[in-house]
Structure 1
Amino acid sequence: MDKQVKKKSDSDPSEKKNPKSPYGGYGYGLIYLLLLALLLVFSLFTNPVTGTKEITWSFLQDSLLVKKQVHNIVVVNKEVAEIYIKNGHPGEDTQVPFSKKLFSTAETPKFYLNIGTVDIFEQKLEKAQQNFPPEDRIEVQYQNRTSWVSILSWLLPFGFIILFWFYVIRRTGAGSSGSSLFNFGKSNARLMEKGSKSSATFNDIAGLKEAKTEIMEVVDFLKNPETYTKLGAKIPKGVMLVGPPGTGKTLMAKAVAGEAGVPFFSMSGSEFVEMFVGVGASRVRDLFKRAKEKAPSIIFIDEIDAVGRSRGKLNAFQANDERESTLNQLLTELDGFGPNTGVIVLAATNRPDVLDKALLRPGRFDRHIYLELPTKEERIEIFGVHLRPLKLSKNVDVELLAKLSPGFSGADIANICNEAALIAARKKKKVVEQSDFMEARDRIIGGMERKSKIISPQEKQIVAHHEAGHAVVSWYLKNVDSLVKVSIIPRGKSLGAAWYLPQERQIVTKSQFLDQICASLGGRAAEEIIFNEISSGALDDLEKVTKQAYTMVAYYGLDEEIGPISFYDSTGQNERMFGKPYSENMAQKIDKEVQDLVNTSYERTKGILRKHRTELEKLAQLLLEQEVVEKDELERILGKREMEQLLEDK
């Protein structure tokens, strides 16, 4: 299918031109800064004590009054006395400050004095001038003034607070629908109007045929409702997409948005929950109100487990749980007394076990679509989608890539294709080759190669025999996956690895479990046989073996002593319990059976390695020489595998 290039046009409703602010890119912030600067400059120039010096009564009496330099005195607000000097006297500064020229036409006082009380000041002044002739006595005037400094000292803090709140309101409202701090109860769901195109369509979804068929039926119902309603059918209220991470749940929703041709509201479950009580429920109401106004429409809630968790006993200790009130409102909107005609709710989660049962019942989410990890044929289709934009070499085998990636999700496959293109570009290649995909697969599974990591010769010997032990044991056990290569090049946290080609099984038998446990114990057993000493390098293997053994005994009922009993809890209720769902006596039996199972498998593993010790040492030496051993070299040392030989004979 040829790529369709979407051209931008003015008629596209999904693209709105934002008018430029008349104040440039700074917006209203520039206005706030200018106002603040004007306030500061105004307070500086209108300060009445600018250029005026404070003096004491002794200085006024001994230096100014005695020498007859004072022209007059003005008492302001019964608190401060302004002393004006006669022109031409030595204390007079003939230059008037710029601020006084700008804001005042009156003569500027040279000094000022804090008088305390008016009565005391008058008594002191009268006593100091008692010997002066009448013409030399100082005239005292009284004035009441309103000081701009005192006013600004009260206004500036309020001005700063107002400007700060304007800034906070604009910043908070920038990403919300109401562009205001006080609209946090409104839904901020992203709306894709009818006629707008999504970046994904159903053609971009490879595999998932059954899931795509069910979801396309919902889209067809919205496009042609009369086909179904004439038979009495009702539109489904909700569709729940369930599956592991990376299987395409959100991609499916994007395709629905592009194909449905109706208004599409999308938001994450975490966007409902806020620190304010009642905001989540308010946003749910507003979301459904907007959707009903544009019905028929679709609401998509991604990661619904953020608000849809089961209302259990743990929530009973909380006085008011915001998540629970949000869930209650969501349940009411989905199937309550109010009409909900023409609105379909899509939801996606990878944790269906934690969802509330009331949310999953028919009438709310009528359909549950399970998206599983793709099979080999589906992986071929997914590779075909993600390989379209790449420049590929002719030697790229898509079927082999799909075969070598069992258990990979669609997101993992997309990551492999992108990583392969990056590796090819790093090597200055013109096309992406098969080797680039293999290197990308190894890097994603095991991590980046760390050839610069310094390993001592003794440790390298241990790692080589450890990995050779895994290879030899797995080679001679028929129920272990096919070995592809062995490497002692450090990757990520591991110092070496044995690479297998897993078979796609739906069920696993007891003999297959036991063979896998033996293969995992092969590295530790090889260290004990060759060096007569064990190391800490088998930690990951022992962890995997222990978990697998407990799973066999306690979950799958594969132990003869315990019998066909399973303590597995698919509902997840046991996670909330403080104890285990079995008695102490049963716990001791389970521990004993697991210990016997692992020890028996370990002895069996050592027996296989003692029998094939020559091959073990040859493979270890080859690993020390070239660090990586491929399958053809493994067959040269270990011979053809029994199962593969039988397949070739057939």
Structure 2
Amino acid sequence: MAENNNKNKQKPNLGNFGTGGKPPKFNPYWIYGIVIVIFLAIQYFSFGGGPVKTTWSEVKNTMLANHDIERIVVVNRDEAQVYLKEDSYDDYADKLNTGFGAPSKFGPHFVYTIGSVETFEDNLQQAQANFNDSDKVPVEYSTVPNYFGDILSWVLPFLIIIAIWWWIFRRMSKGAGGGGGGGNIFNVGKSQAKVFDKDSRVSTTFKDVAGLAEAKQEVEEVVSFLKSPAKYTKLGGKIPKGALLVGPPGTGKTLLAKAVAGEANVPFFSMSGSDFVEMFVGVGASRVRDLFKQAKEKAPCIVFIDEIDAIGRARGRNPNMGSNDERENTLNQLLTEMDGFDTNSGVIILAATNRADMLDRALMRAGRFDRQIHVELPDLNERGEIFQVHLRPIKLSKDIDASFLAKQTPGFSGADIANVCNEAALIAARKDKDEVSRQDFLDAVDRIIGGLEKKNKIISKDEKRRIAYHEAGHATISWLLEHAHPLVKVTIVPRGKALGAAWYLPEERSLTTKEQLLDEMCSALGGRAAEEIIFGTISSGAQNDLEKITKQAYAMISIFGMSPKVGNVSFYDSTGQNEYGFTKPYSEKTAELIDAEAKELIESQYQRALQVLKEHSEGHRKLGERLLEKEVIFGEDLEEIFGKRPWVREELTAEQQTVIAPKPAEEANPATSA
């Protein structure tokens, strides 16, 4: 032990370079710094030292007067170097002893600027006018080339230009670092795909994807094919070349692709469609080639392109006609690589988009994207499954039920549900709760739908009264019409950009009849009708209602074929191929007929709303006054005033009809009053 202690005492202190620390990494930029320091040293220092600066006055009054100067050398016609006599050197030792930079004993010892040769010669001649010829100081002229300065004057501009060029293009090609780019401008054409393989696996699996049963079945088959291809090939089947995930935003397309990466156990290339687009011509096509080159080397593998509509938009529809279209060149290269002359065995392409109608037909054909997997908004049961996934990390109270929450969120996507769960946890934390309760989730739904509650917003009594009767008009008609969505909550408390809003429980249906559309339109016009009946005037509060029912009326006539005069025709282009068309698919006479039919349809439902409110004026006024008093009323208040609705959907339970906060069918416009 003593020997070990002695060894430890004798061990030198290495500081950061000991066992605990590491020496600093070598940086190639150090070389540039060292070279610059060496050049500066050569420029400003010499091994024998340099002459001491002086003035002509000192040279004239002291050195020339005492005959201490051996000779003067004029260098490059602007500088005079003074050499002292050997026996006079000691007399100036105090001035010449300047340490490391002291001049050599052999000179030159002093130096000064002469201005011009003519002036120097005149001054020297006048100073030596009374000297004998033997005492006069000889003058020599020499030219000393400044190699460093000359080289620098030629090279420095080029160095500055190269440095600026390197800095600009390095910033432009920052994105070239991913996927082998290395941040180098010469690698800007390299693929930007992130590669997930056995060294960097994705943790997401199919267990993390709730709902989407049909979509999962399709992609699970792709994964199964990669794991055991013999199961399919023995029957003559071939591996699908591509699968396109299509659906609204937030429905889980990218999440499904991540789950494929986590389950496949094969290399997975992931990138966005915008990663192919670059300011340099030909870069997009080059990146496509490099992506498939890497994929072929690691086959079997999966390539995932998110938001493929960034490069897959139909060709020939670019408004910049006549110019070189880099996006079309990229698409052409992608089409060639997916199903061109060369085979890509073992490379499966997955892509996601919410604009499938904009994609090029050549991209959609069999042999490229063999399958289109539609990922739609989740239904009631799927929303319950999604809630169960997102509720796992949240500390919940005992009254939370995923099925109950699913009933509060009709029309919500998976991303919306995740946002509801997160918002509920934040609301509970804001209230210093130990767990998240049911009311926190209901408040979160209100927050997401209507925005933040603004109880301190300044609203006059007259405006508040108008808002109350406006919302009461919506509530009354929606409760009394058979096909209107049953209203379950009305508020006149400003929330977000809305001054008042009504929450409904929409029926989850796949088809909508003409009668259902008319009842919804009449209910939407209830606010404007209520203002006209109660106040005799109308306001801008119905702007959002009018915008909604106008679009609905034109859709009924020109898309759904629900007008007897226009007929069973539809002018809607579901393929999206006529996006940049300059002509309407109907004549001017038909356009006038559509306008007249839409106006007549809206007016008929407005008169119907007036009639319903006049027939139930007493209940409408009671509801308006109760709304002014409470500011928030629920379905129970409407049932108390008007009685139970005679039209009750059999598939709905009593709990579903008395929920507090479903997704609203209407939100007030920020510029309006209700």
Same structural fold, with TM-score higher than 0.5 when normalized by the shorter chain: yes
The answer to whether residue 95 in structure 2 is matched with residue 94 in structure 1 is yes
What's the secondary structure of 2:579's corresponding residue? helix
The answer to whether residue 380 in structure 2 is matched with residue 376 in structure 1 is yes
What's the secondary structure of 1:549's corresponding residue? helix
- Mapping of 1:53-452 within 5 angstroms? 72-82=71-81, 94=95, 100-101=101-102, 106-115=107-116, 132-147=131-146, 148-149=148-149, 151-154=151-154, 172=174, 174-175=177-178, 177-179=180-182, 180-194=184-198, 196-314=200-318, 317-452=321-456
Is the 1:96–1:108 contact (alpha carbons within 8 Å) kept by the matching residues of 2?
no
Root mean square deviation of aligned Cα = 3.4
Identity percentage over the alignment? 55
Q: Deviations over 1:271-309 (max 9, x none)?
A: 011111111111111111111111111111111111111
Paired residue type of 1:512? Q
Which residue matches 2:667? none
Cα distance in structure 1, aligned partners of 2:181 and 2:387? 43
Cα distance in structure 2, aligned partners of 1:648 and 1:344? 46
Deviates more, 1:625-634 or 1:234-243: 625-634
Which residue matches 1:3? none
Q: Deviations over 1:537-567 (max 9, x none)?
A: 1111111011111111111111111111111
What's the secondary structure of 1:424's corresponding residue? helix
After superposition, the Cα gap between the structure-2 partners of 1:305 and 1:122, relative to the gap in structure 1 and judged at 3 Å, is same
What's the secondary structure of 1:211's corresponding residue? helix
Return the match for 2:531 from 527, 540, 547. Answer: 527
CA drift of 1:23 comes to 4.0
Is the 1:45–1:99 contact (alpha carbons within 8 Å) kept by the matching residues of 2?
no
Cα distance in structure 1, aligned partners of 2:365 and 2:104? 78
CA drift of 1:499 comes to 0.4
Paired residue type of 2:186? F
Q: Deviations over 1:95-151 (max 9, x none)?
A: 66678349999445342124368xx97688668756642133222223332434555
What's the secondary structure of 2:608's corresponding residue? helix
What's the secondary structure of 1:231's corresponding residue? coil
Return the match for 2:509 from 505, 510, 513. Answer: 505
The answer to whether residue 564 in structure 2 is matched with residue 563 in structure 1 is no
Cα distance in structure 2, aligned partners of 1:622 and 1:190? 59
What's the secondary structure of 1:484's corresponding residue? strand
Is the 1:82–1:113 contact (alpha carbons within 8 Å) kept by the matching residues of 2?
no
Cα distance in structure 1, aligned partners of 2:649 and 2:220? 46
Which residue matches 2:659? none
Deviates more, 1:84-93 or 1:127-136: 84-93
After superposition, the Cα gap between the structure-2 partners of 1:224 and 1:206, relative to the gap in structure 1 and judged at 3 Å, is same
CA drift of 1:579 comes to 3.2
Paired residue type of 1:379? R
Cα distance in structure 1, aligned partners of 2:388 and 2:55? 88
Return the match for 1:459 from 463, 466, 470. Answer: 463
Cα distance in structure 2, aligned partners of 1:512 and 1:49? 101
Cα distance in structure 2, aligned partners of 1:43 and 1:622? 92
Question: Which TM-score applies when normalising by structure 2?
Answer: 0.84
CA drift of 1:362 comes to 0.4
Paired residue type of 2:134? E
CA drift of 1:580 comes to 2.1
Cα distance in structure 2, aligned partners of 1:482 and 1:593? 28
Return the match for 1:619 from 619, 623, 627. Answer: 623
The number of equivalent residue pairs is: 625
CA drift of 1:610 comes to 1.2
Paired residue type of 1:461? R
Cα distance in structure 1, aligned partners of 2:479 and 2:248? 32
Q: Deviations over 1:218-255 (max 9, x none)?
A: 10000001111122211111111111111111011100
Is the 1:45–1:103 contact (alpha carbons within 8 Å) kept by the matching residues of 2?
no
Q: Deviations over 1:371-415 (max 9, x none)?
A: 111111111111111111111111112222111211111111111
After superposition, the Cα gap between the structure-2 partners of 1:382 and 1:141, relative to the gap in structure 1 and judged at 3 Å, is same
After superposition, the Cα gap between the structure-2 partners of 1:405 and 1:39, relative to the gap in structure 1 and judged at 3 Å, is farther
The answer to whether residue 607 in structure 2 is matched with residue 607 in structure 1 is no
Q: Deviations over 1:81-105 (max 9, x none)?
A: 4456897999999266678349999
Cα distance in structure 2, aligned partners of 1:620 and 1:320? 62
After superposition, the Cα gap between the structure-2 partners of 1:535 and 1:315, relative to the gap in structure 1 and judged at 3 Å, is closer
CA drift of 1:506 comes to 0.8
Is the 2:491–2:502 contact (alpha carbons within 8 Å) kept by the matching residues of 1?
yes
Paired residue type of 1:510? K
Which residue matches 2:662? none
Deviates more, 1:245-254 or 1:167-176: 167-176
CA drift of 1:167 comes to 6.1
Cα distance in structure 2, aligned partners of 1:105 and 1:357? 90
Paired residue type of 2:362? A
Is the 1:284–1:330 contact (alpha carbons within 8 Å) kept by the matching residues of 2?
yes
Is the 2:244–2:373 contact (alpha carbons within 8 Å) kept by the matching residues of 1?
yes
CA drift of 1:270 comes to 0.5
Paired residue type of 1:349? T
CA drift of 1:472 comes to 0.8
Cα distance in structure 1, aligned partners of 2:558 and 2:237? 46
Q: Deviations over 1:416-441 (max 9, x none)?
A: 11111111111111111111111111
Unaligned residue ranges in structure 1 (runs of 5+):
1-19
After superposition, the Cα gap between the structure-2 partners of 1:177 and 1:125, relative to the gap in structure 1 and judged at 3 Å, is same
Cα distance in structure 1, aligned partners of 2:497 and 2:382? 32
After superposition, the Cα gap between the structure-2 partners of 1:524 and 1:21, relative to the gap in structure 1 and judged at 3 Å, is farther
After superposition, the Cα gap between the structure-2 partners of 1:351 and 1:123, relative to the gap in structure 1 and judged at 3 Å, is same
After superposition, the Cα gap between the structure-2 partners of 1:591 and 1:574, relative to the gap in structure 1 and judged at 3 Å, is same
Paired residue type of 1:137? K
What's the secondary structure of 2:350's corresponding residue? strand
Cα distance in structure 1, aligned partners of 2:374 and 2:478? 34
Cα distance in structure 1, aligned partners of 2:208 and 2:632? 38
Is the 1:526–1:609 contact (alpha carbons within 8 Å) kept by the matching residues of 2?
yes
After superposition, the Cα gap between the structure-2 partners of 1:228 and 1:601, relative to the gap in structure 1 and judged at 3 Å, is same
Cα distance in structure 1, aligned partners of 2:641 and 2:98? 101
Paired residue type of 1:259? E
Paired residue type of 1:94? K
Is the 2:244–2:372 contact (alpha carbons within 8 Å) kept by the matching residues of 1?
yes
Is the 1:191–1:265 contact (alpha carbons within 8 Å) kept by the matching residues of 2?
yes
Is the 1:84–1:110 contact (alpha carbons within 8 Å) kept by the matching residues of 2?
no
Return the match for 1:492 from 485, 489, 496. Answer: 496
Unaligned residue ranges in structure 2 (runs of 5+):
1-20, 655-674
Cα distance in structure 1, aligned partners of 2:68 and 2:116? 19
Cα distance in structure 1, aligned partners of 2:516 and 2:125? 117
Which residue matches 2:660? none
Paired residue type of 1:524? R
Cα distance in structure 2, aligned partners of 1:296 and 1:102? 76
What's the secondary structure of 1:134's corresponding residue? coil
